[in-house]
Structure 1
């Protein structure tokens, strides 16, 4: 089968919403080529250094590459993708150059190309994420290994927003907590919570493919009995009372369910939010505080922010 590679030159801020658009339009395989990768250190926990080819990277911003089957609907699909991306400007999302190019590739090329970008990475003090096809031996006795197979539909779990979320979970999740993961994606945060000792995790995502991915990855990591994955729009019709809610999605989406998060959290519970750009930090912080949350921690990694909010206890 012949495939078309769709390459979008955009910004780091636009990665997640554009990735969602591509997935919704049937794209397979997702590769992110970030210009900043060329100046970051790339030493793994093994001491290996991965050399990157500057010719494959943009001079600024990021390339998002996805793959569409070449058929009679390709033209219409590409136009729908372009329109949906342009509509992101209505949400004040910086699209950068927003240049889209199309080229033809063969199946064997895209089927494996994205995997070369995915290596074991130590995310926090205890958590290391590795792809299912990579061998890895724990370095520390208390190290927890999460195996992920994103199935070419989701991220690898190493994006700064995910790293911030995992680090916050490690700090604030208590043993036997009930946890809600809003926008579960591949299920990496749900799996992290389960491994860190949560009593049960409720993983919600609007995308049924994400729900299936969470179920699959939960089984791979032997925590399927601790995770309930369901298709839901944010926290609509959710009645579970949680000790902790975590959500790694866009700032504009987070503020839409702050009130519902408040009502589903037990007094003293924590609301971990990520996926927030520096420019949207005050926007989210204001909504959280207006609802009554206390901001107890703000963490930053590269251009991303994670806010940890607490619902006051009533004694």
Structure 2
């Protein structure tokens, strides 16, 4: 099966928003080409990315690419028109969307798979958490390491983005074995898997996208956690009747602000909220919203212009 690649040339600030838009409109996933990675220092003792070509990245801005099945998408022009309309809405909401140029091309599935897999290698996020693609080999450096097996499929979340790394660091710090967790906007399921590997149980993973739900279930099964993690389609915390010791959400700040009012109902006293996917400029709004519902900020951590927040309900 072949795919139609929809490429949006945007700004780093709008990367998450554009990714969300593409998937909300029905794309089977996104890949991100951000030249910022060319300037990172990579620790290659675990087989991470060690050779990147500047020719594969834009000189400025970020390319966000979505993939549509040729069998399912019969109106590419209509899809592109919707993307452009949503980009205009972002711009009207004071987002810097960069050039916002949208282009398309046909891509064979075999060449696409080979292309993106060469950018996705085993990476050690913390002393204990290692994210390993299913097809990679890795020997644990110590018995304390928790190996996360992942096949992100059409790139629902590979674990290498700063927002995911920040989320993992806070989960490792604040999550205790046996605690109940809700993962809002689970994507590939990586944060639910991390929580499970850290001893959480039970875990509820929610995502609005049915394709993400399917991929999360596959990855959770790959990590032998199906008995502890329930994955279902859900719109944020709407309709969630149970409570949790930890709620984690690695999504846009604008989306976090839509459901913070639900947190006092869902979090138990002493419970922790871990929020990521927040750009530096939006940090204050999220912190203010958390304070308004009575949550205390425990910690704010930063990486490459992104912010993650841990807050506690007393």
Q: Is the deviation greater in 302-311 or in 60-69?
A: 60-69
2:291 is aligned to 289
Query: What is the CA-CA distance between 1:115 and the residue it aligns to?
Result: 1.2
Describe the SS at the equivalent of 2:132. Answer: strand
Q: Which moved more, 1:214-223 or 1:10-19?
A: 10-19
Structure 2 equivalent of residue 108 of structure 1: 110
Partner of 2:54: 54
Match of 2:128 in 1: 126
Which of residues 151, 154, 177 is equivalent to 2:153?
A: 151
Matches within 5 A, 1:133-282: 133-282=135-284
The alpha-carbon distance between structure 1 residues 203 and 69, as it changes in their structure 2 partners (threshold 3 A), is: closer
Number of equivalences:
312
Structure 1: how far apart are the matches of 2:61 and 2:46? 29
Taking structure 1 as the reference length, the TM-score comes to 0.93
How many angstroms apart in 2 are the aligned matches of 1:287 and 1:130? Answer: 36
Query: Do the aligned residues in 1 keep the contact of 2:295 with 2:312 (CA within 8 Å)?
Result: yes
Instruction: Sort the Cα spacing of 1:69 and 1:259 in 2 relative to 1 into closer, same or farther, 3 A.
Output: closer
Alignment of 1:14-93 (within 5 A): 14-28=14-28, 30-46=30-46, 50-69=50-69, 72-93=74-95
Deviates more, 1:282-291 or 1:71-80: 71-80
RMSD (Å) for aligned C-alpha atoms: 1.9
| 1:48 to 1:167, Cα distance in 2 relative to 1, 3 A | closer
Greater shift, 221-230 or 131-140, is seen at 131-140
| SS in structure 1 at match of 2:59 | coil
Larger CA deviation: 99-108 vs 9-18: 99-108
- The answer (yes or no) to whether the contact 1:29–1:111 under 8 Å persists in 2 is no
Q: Secondary structure at the match of 2:195?
A: helix
Q: Distance in 1 between matches of 2:48 and 2:231?
A: 36
Unmatched segments (≥5 aa) in structure 2: none
Per-residue CA shift, 1:194-214, capped at 9, x if unaligned?
110112111111111122122
1:9 aligns with 2:9: yes
In the TM superposition, residue 26 of structure 1 has moved relative to its aligned partner by 4.0
Q: How far apart are residue 55 of structure 1 and its match?
A: 1.5
Deviation at 1:91, TM superposition (A): 4.1
TM-score scaled by structure 2? 0.93
Cα distance in 1 for partners of 2:155, 2:48 equals 27
- Shift of the 107–245 alpha-carbon distance from structure 1 to 2, 3 Å rule, reads closer
| Contact 1:23/1:153, CA 8 A, preserved across alignment | no
Q: Provide the C-alpha distance between the structure 2 equivalents of 1:46 and 1:89, rounded to a whole number of angstroms.
A: 40
